[in-house]
Amino acid sequence: MYMRIKAVHKNEVLKPLKKLGLEEGAVIEIGVPISAVDNTYAASKLSSEKIDEIMESTESGE
């Protein structure tokens, strides 16, 4: 079964915006989309400012 829901992230806890109808203690899998910049930063250890600079220069063809 697949459900797509919205949740609020606060203090390292995800809180769904509506009831899920799951059994108490149910184990679920969560996928969280990550932007290309965040993903690149995690893989390269470059600063976000440097990544932004690289992305801007690539988009402008410099």
For residue 49, give the amino acid letter: E
Confidence of residue 50 (pLDDT cuts 50, 70, 90): confident
Q: For 4-46, how does the pLDDT look when each residue is reduced to its tens digit (9 = 90+)?
A: 888 988 888 889 999 999 999 999 888 877 665 555 545 566 7
N- to C-terminal Cα separation, the chain: 47
How many other CB atoms are found less than 10 A from the CB of residue 17? 8
CA-wise closest residue to 56 among 38, 48, 43: 48
How many other CB atoms are found less than 10 A from the CB of residue 7? 14
